[in-house]
């Protein structure tokens, strides 16, 4: 079997109205495919009218205002259905999909699908989450683990952070860079890697929970579940 990162890799990212996956809405999205060189060879992008006000804090991050979303965005229900269909098509083709911090994007997409009566993805796999993998293979590296920080660490260009397309493609390139550096540790078996990431994410949540309970809040509970909660 050839290395999974040496073929085509799906990429996916959302920009949204907030950080709570239960209540936040999709504002923009990118679903695409990059090749072994990291070049984008397929892509679809969406701008949605989320049907709610986009908070100023969110607009400050991704640059999309309520006014623009209302004027230029398409109905949220249509956008959500098309995003789900695009991801389902990639996975049915056997293309692994890269999502940086997958539980955020996939859980939020699930809640949006349910909200609009769209059949959600069921057990999406295989997913590649560079955040989870990076924390596992380079556990003791100091500093932040944001996409921007990971891109800098692995020599990946990210010139327009918090644009769905730029973030999606950068996440895919970070995944490829990690995989090349840690080829022995990660191997070639996508099913095994998918399962391993679920285990790693649970371990990482437990570790963070322990840290928070010792230092800040004895009752703190970290969210569990990967790639979707």
Residue-wise pLDDT for 166-220, tens only, equals: 999 999 999 999 999 999 999 999 999 999 999 999 999 999 999 999 999 999 9
Residue 211 token pair: 């840290």
Q: Which of 206, 142, 137 is nearest to 174 (CA)?
A: 137
**Total domain count for the chain?**
1
**What distance lies between CA 86 and its chain's CA centroid?**
15
Note whether residue 228 is domain-resident.
no
pLDDT digits 0-9 by tens, 6-49: 889 999 999 999 999 999 999 999 999 999 999 999 999 999 99
Note whether residue 174 is domain-resident.
yes
Sheet holding 40-49: strands in order across?
A: 74-75, 40-49, 26-34, 9-16, 97-98, 127-128
Domain that residue 16 falls in: 4-188
Note whether residue 119 is domain-resident.
yes
Q: Which of 24, 79, 80, 74 is nearest to 49 (CA)?
A: 74
Note whether residue 201 is domain-resident.
no
Note whether residue 218 is domain-resident.
no
Q: How far apart are CA 148 and CA 171, in angstroms?
A: 9
* DSSP 8-state secondary structure symbol assigned to residue 5: G
What percentage of the chain has pLDDT greater than the value 70?
99
- Where would I find the beta strands (DSSP E) of 64-203? 74-75, 97-98, 127-128
pLDDT surpasses 80 at 1: no
How many other C-beta atoms lie within 10 A of the C-beta of residue 157?
12
Q: Which of 225, 135, 229 is nearest to 185 (CA)?
A: 135
CATH code, domain with 123: 3.30.420.10
Note whether residue 205 is domain-resident.
no
Note whether residue 144 is domain-resident.
yes
């Amino acid at each position: 079997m050839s290395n999974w990162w040496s073929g085509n890799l799906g990429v996916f990212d959302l920009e949204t109205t907030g950080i709570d996956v239960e209540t936040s809405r999709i504002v923009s999205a990118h679903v695409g495919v990059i090749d072994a060189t990291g070049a984008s060879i397929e892509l679809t992008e969406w701008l949605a009218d989320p049907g709610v006000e986009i908070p100023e804090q969110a607009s400050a991050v991704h640059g999309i205002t309520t006014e623009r979303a209302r004027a230029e965005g398409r109905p949220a229900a249509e956008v959500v259905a098309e995003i789900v269909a695009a991801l389902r098509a990639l996975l049915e083709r056997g293309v692994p999909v890269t999502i940086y911090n997958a539980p955020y994007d996939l859980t939020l997409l699930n809640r949006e699908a349910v909200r609009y009566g769209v059949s959600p993805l069921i057990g999406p796999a295989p997913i590649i989450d560079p955040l989870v993998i990076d924390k596992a293979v380079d556990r003791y590296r100091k500093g932040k683990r944001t996409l921007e920080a990971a891109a800098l660490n692995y020599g990946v260009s990210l010139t327009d952070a918090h644009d769905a397309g730029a973030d999606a493609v950068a996440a895919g390139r970070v995944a490829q860079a990690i995989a090349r550096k840690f080829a022995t540790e990660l191997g070639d078996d996508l099913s095994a890697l998918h399962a391993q990431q679920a285990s790693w994410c649970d371990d990482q949540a437990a570790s963070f929970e322990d840290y928070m309970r010792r230092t800040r809040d004895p009752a703190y509970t970290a969210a569990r579940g990967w790639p979707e909660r």
